[in-house]
Amino acid sequence: MNKAVKYRIYPTPEQEQKMLETFGCSRFVYNHYLALQKERYAQGQKHLSRTDCNNDCNRVLKKEYPWLKEVDKFALTNSIYALENGYRRFFQKKGGHPIFKSRHRSKKSYTTNFTNNNIKVLEGAVQLPKLGKIRAVIHREIPSDWKLKQATVSQERDGSCYVSLLCEYDRTAEPVNVCYEKVLGLDYKSDGLYMDSEGQCAAMPHFYRINQKKLAKAQRKLKKKTVHSKNYARQQKRIARIQRKSANQRKDYLHKKSTETANQYDLVCVESLNMRRLANQGFGNGKATL
């Protein structure tokens, strides 16, 4: 099985600059081959495989743009693989057509592979290729029998940086006898997350509404500042911190509630709903669960 462990990292200005360069190069390669695939489709040519795109990147694209050689090569390869995965889902009708990545709106992240012991978890630090040792909060140790596979470096809109280490480990799944007295059914409830078959409501706190006054005040301050100025950028980060706090509060609550339910019951039945369509049907419950 695979499991990821996510750590908060604190890069130096030089390391952060190298991270930003890698984000940009990965985005450039993704957009380049997306445009190439679209052009080939318009001309009636065959779709390029990820191997062909990767070979073209190493043999042609890096010669045209030498600055691509300065970043981690696996980051560029995984960017091409991510594009191919998007096309595969599109062909299987599991998602929409891949779109171009934006410098301002897309998530800043890249993935590198573990090879020749280039990724290590040290005491109070994480070693990554092209970045070296980065100070990190090691809140959870990785067992020695787990095998490192990949590392995904990301940066949030508020400037905080993280690394997610994907590990592989062996786990034997044992059959579980379901006790029908420990079966629970969950039904969607717009004001409270869900109502279970025992008549109890989750009563999830509205974290977004709790922080809404602080968020509105920060957004009013942003409106009075000059666009693209340093004060404007600082205020944008303050707004991003407030929004990220609400998202983390919701995620923490859902993790704790799901763990509590899974430990108490052998079987949990839930209804499959399209929440996006429910929010857009004019019911007025778009922020009910936030």
pLDDT tens for each residue of 239-257:
999 999 999 999 999 999 9
Average pLDDT for 69-87: 97
C-alpha distances (whole Å) from 212 to each of 157, 182, 207, 246 are: 18, 39, 8, 9
Res. 273 pLDDT band, cuts 50 70 90: confident
Same domain, 186 and 139: no
Same domain, 168 and 193: no
Same domain, 164 and 189: no
- CA 33, CA 36: separation in Å to the nearest integer? 5
Task: Specify the pTM.
Answer: 0.88
Same domain, 190 and 266: yes
Last residue of some domain: 144, 174, 204?
Answer: 174
Give pLDDT, residue 284: 62
For 156, the token pair is 């949030």
Last residue of some domain: 141, 174, 207?
Answer: 174
* Predicted confidence (pLDDT) at residue 171 exceeds the cutoff of 90: no
CB-side neighbour CA atoms (13 Å) of 99: 7
* Predicted confidence (pLDDT) at residue 175 exceeds the cutoff of 70: yes
Same domain, 170 and 184: no
Same domain, 192 and 164: no
User: How distant is the alpha carbon of residue 17 from its chain centre?
Assistant: 21
Instruction: Look up the domain containing 189 and give its range.
Output: 180-279
Res. 289 pLDDT band, cuts 50 70 90: low
- Gyration radius of the chain's alpha carbons: 23
Q: Is residue 288 part of a domain?
A: no
- CA 81, CA 68: separation in Å to the nearest integer? 17
